[in-house]
Every structure is written in structure tokens, then in C-alpha cells.
């Protein structure tokens, strides 16, 4: 639970009141958004979301969502680049989002592209369900071509074989969650969730590969 509640201080990220936190679980800095950003979620995702329990345990997360969303709306590539420059943490990799959706609307496309352009030495890890929207998928393809993007289509047991085959054929990497006995793609078992042997910051076999990769997360 501490990875949700622990928010990076201004001393850690170099910007006062920046809604960026260091997530111990993945050993990375990350930005979050509120659950209302998850407009592309499947029904399985909504029911299985780990946040459901957290919102019951920590009612104050609603206020955190509002701060996260306000920060995201005001964020620019220049602001994030300055924050990362001053950070005392490792900025080689950065997560969008540990909670919420990076590509909620078309306006997010330009924002994410700006973040990546202004911080070219940081790899941005972006699992997303926005691929389910044809217009969003086409727009995200331009960001997938950026050398410091690591975008994975988040899939689960409720996605049809046709949906999955289509996104794989389009060259997208995928991240599967929701079944520990069977995976719909020829995937690598995530060494962090299956074997607890590596953190995301140092992993070299899964999500951060430049080539197409399919990752199978173990359900908790």
C-alpha cells in the first residue's frame, strides 16, 4: 500500500507540489491520473482494478485524483524536463501512468509527444487501453515511432481473439493480465510479478525492449 500513498517530495523531484511520485514497487518515478481518465477500460479491467480496494481503504485518494488531474492538465514537456533535471532519482525510465490512462482523449496525444520530445534521454513506459479506439490508436502510432517511447497495449481475458490478433499484427507490443494459466500471445512471463527477481527500472527482458514484445503479468 505504501507505493500508493508515498508521493515524491519537492526535494526528490525538484519541483514544488509536482504530482510525481517515486513508486517503490517499480523503482521508478511516475505520474498518475484519476480513474475517470480510464475511458477505454474493458469491463474486466473495471472489475479487477486494484484501485477499487484502495478507494475503499483510502477515501482521500479522491482528492489525490483531483490534484493529479490538475497537474496533468498544466504539465508541459518543458516543465517535466526541468523536474527530471533536478531529480535525485534515476530518470532513465519513467512511468505513465501507474493509475489512470495516459491517452484518455485526443488532447493527450500532443501532450505525451511533447513530454517525450523534451526529455529524449528518458524512456517512457506507457501501458494503455486507448488502442481499443481506432482514432486514438492511429494517433498513438506516431508516438510509438519515437525512440524513447515504450507503449504496450494492455489486454485482458475480455478482449476477443480478433482484437488481440489485430493489435499484434499492427506491430504493437502487449501486456496481458487476468489469467495465470493461459496467455493469448506468445508472451514473456514478467520476471517481477512471476519470480520477484527484478524491478522494472533494471529489467532487460520485457516491457522496455525496443522491438515488439508481449508481456504476461501474474495476477495477484
Rounded CA separation 145/149 (Å): 7
Q: Would you kindly state where each structural domain of the chain is located, as residue ranges?
A: 2-156
**23: phi then psi, degrees, rounded to nearest 5:** -95, 110
The answer to whether the CB of 94 falls within 8 A of the CB of 118 is no
173-176 β-sheet, strand order: 20-23, 28-31, 93-96, 123-128, 149-155, 173-176, 214-216, 188-189
Stated pTM of the model:
0.89
Give the model's pLDDT for residue 14: 41
For CA atoms 178, 113, 203, 72, the dihedral sign is negative
**206: phi then psi, degrees, rounded to nearest 5:** -120, -110
Please provide the average confidence, as pLDDT, over all residues in the chain: 90
Q: Report the chain's terminal Cα–Cα distance, integer Å.
A: 14
Q: At what angle do helices 134-144 and 107-118 cross, to 10 degrees?
A: 10
- pLDDT tens for 144-171 read 999 999 999 999 999 999 999 999 999 9
Q: Between the ranges 16-20, 143-147, 193-197, where is the mean pLDDT highest?
A: 143-147
Asked whether the predicted pLDDT for residue 49 surpasses 90, the reply is no
3-class state of residue 154 by DSSP:
strand
Share of the chain above pLDDT 70, in %: 92
Asked whether the predicted pLDDT for residue 130 surpasses 60, the reply is yes
Q: Which residue in the block uniquely carries the three cell numbers 520477484? A: 196
The answer to whether the CB of 197 falls within 8 A of the CB of 203 is no
Amino acid at each position: 500500500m505504501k507505493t500508493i500513498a508515498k508521493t515524491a517530495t519537492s526535494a526528490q523531484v525538484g519541483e514544488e507540489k509536482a504530482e510525481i511520485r517515486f513508486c517503490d514497487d517499480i523503482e521508478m518515478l511516475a505520474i498518475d491520473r484519476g480513474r475517470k481518465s480510464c475511458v477505454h477500460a474493458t469491463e474486466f479491467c473495471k472489475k479487477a482494478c486494484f484501485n477499487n480496494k484502495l478507494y475503499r481503504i483510502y477515501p482521500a485518494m479522491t482528492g489525490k485524483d483531483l490534484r493529479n488531474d490538475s497537474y496533468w492538465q498544466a504539465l508541459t514537456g518543458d516543465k517535466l524536463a526541468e523536474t527530471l533535471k533536478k531529480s535525485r532519482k534515476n530518470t532513465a525510465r519513467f512511468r505513465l501512468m501507474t493509475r489512470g490512462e495516459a491517452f484518455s482523449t485526443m488532447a493527450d496525444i500532443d501532450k505525451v509527444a511533447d513530454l517525450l520530445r523534451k526529455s529524449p534521454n528518458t524512456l517512457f513506459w506507457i501501458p494503455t487501453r486507448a488502442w481499443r479506439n481506432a482514432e486514438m490508436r492511429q494517433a498513438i502510432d506516431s508516438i510509438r515511432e519515437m525512440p524513447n517511447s515504450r507503449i504496450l497495449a494492455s489486454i485482458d481475458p475480455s478482449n476477443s481473439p480478433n482484437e488481440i490478433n489485430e493489435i499484434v499484427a499492427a506491430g504493437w507490443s502487449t501486456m496481458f493480465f487476468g489469467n495465470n494459466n493461459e496467455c493469448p500471445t506468445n508472451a514473456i512471463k514478467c520476471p517481477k510479478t512471476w519470480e520477484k527477481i527484478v524491478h522494472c527500472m533494471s529489467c532487460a527482458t520485457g516491457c522496455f525492449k525496443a522491438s515488439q514484445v508481449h508481456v504476461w503479468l501474474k495476477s495477484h
